[in-house]
Amino acid sequence: MRVLGIDTATATGSVALIDSEQVVGEYLLSIQATHSERLIPALVRILEDGDWSGESIDGIAVATGPGSFTGLRIGVATAKALAYTWQKPLKGVTVLEGLALQVGFAAQWVCSLVDARHGEVYGCLYRLNGLPEAATGYWAGPVGDFLEEVLAVAKGPVCFTGDGAASYWDIITQRAGDKAVRPTSNSMYLRASSIALLGRQRLLVGERDDPLTLAPLYLRLSEAERRLKERRSGCR
């Protein structure tokens, strides 16, 4: 099964092509240009270099979040447009699941963390049994509070991954000590190939998302939405 993977959830954006479980090609960029500037050129180039077309793709997988509000909208909207235009099945995959899949070799327990700034993270603890199995609910809040829950649930060493783990590694090691496992730096940031591989697994068992209704996974309001809500509350 040929799957196109798209990730625009964080500053490091990427696109990938997989054929069965083989990565055919992947472009990953962490640069100042916005996702709106680089996503379409990256898609065009990887399809040309792989000698693929919309007709030769069997499905599309896209990172749905959590992450950058603007980045997520760009990636999800693009994936939906391609799925609708090419009439191909679409599957959304969370960033947290994709991160966990990447470091399944490091430990049985994986804690995926996305930096939400100001000492907060989006997170989820997974137990790796082939594919990631969520052991906690999604988290959005202070990193220290989530670490307490993670360490209470995990029965063994925990691999912490994601840009949230990179940003708050000192706090993680203070709380978790020798229980904390750090993956190599190139495994710590999401890759579109992980989204494509997970998407392929879901598509193979018949899971699909509607291109007209698939929405990004937002675990909290954006800064602008929070300020608007506060202003409205203050006017009552």
Structure confidence by residue, pLDDT tens digits, 169-180: 999 999 999 999
Say yes or no: 57 and 84 in one domain.
Answer: yes
Which CATH number fits the domain that encloses residue 148? 3.30.420.40
Say yes or no: 180 and 193 in one domain.
Answer: no
- On whether residue 229 sits in a domain, the answer given is no
- On whether residue 59 sits in a domain, the answer given is yes
Say yes or no: 7 and 123 in one domain.
Answer: no
Confidence at 225, pLDDT banded by 50, 70, 90: very low
Task: Give the whole-angstrom CA distance, residue 224 versus residue 27.
Answer: 31
Confidence at 36, pLDDT banded by 50, 70, 90: confident
Say yes or no: 87 and 202 in one domain.
Answer: yes
- On whether residue 118 sits in a domain, the answer given is yes
Task: Give the whole-angstrom CA distance, residue 60 versus residue 39.
Answer: 15
Largest CA distance in the chain: 59
Tell me the pLDDT of the chain averaged across its residues.
91
Distances (CA, A) of 222 to 20, 34, 49, 149: 37, 18, 37, 25
Say yes or no: 6 and 81 in one domain.
Answer: yes
**Using alpha carbons only, how large is the chain's radius of gyration in Å?**
18
For residue 64, pLDDT over 60 is answered with yes
Task: Give the whole-angstrom CA distance, residue 50 versus residue 152.
Answer: 46
Task: Give the whole-angstrom CA distance, residue 64 versus residue 195.
Answer: 10
**Phi, psi at 59, each rounded to 5°:** -170, 165
pLDDT in tens, 102-145: 998 888 999 999 999 999 999 999 999 888 999 999 999 999 99
For residue 45, pLDDT over 70 is answered with yes
Q: Is 9 exposed, middle or buried (0-12, 13-18, 19+ CB in 10 A)?
A: buried
- On whether residue 232 sits in a domain, the answer given is no
Outline where DSSP puts E strands in 35-189: 59-63, 90-93, 109-117, 120-129, 131-134, 139-142, 158-161, 180-181
- On whether residue 236 sits in a domain, the answer given is no
- On whether residue 233 sits in a domain, the answer given is no
Say yes or no: 66 and 53 in one domain.
Answer: yes
- On whether residue 52 sits in a domain, the answer given is yes
Give the residue numbers spanning the domain of 147: 103-187
User: Coil, strand, or helix at residue 110?
Assistant: strand
If one counts the domains in the chain, the total is 2
- Global pTM value: 0.91
Say yes or no: 169 and 199 in one domain.
Answer: no
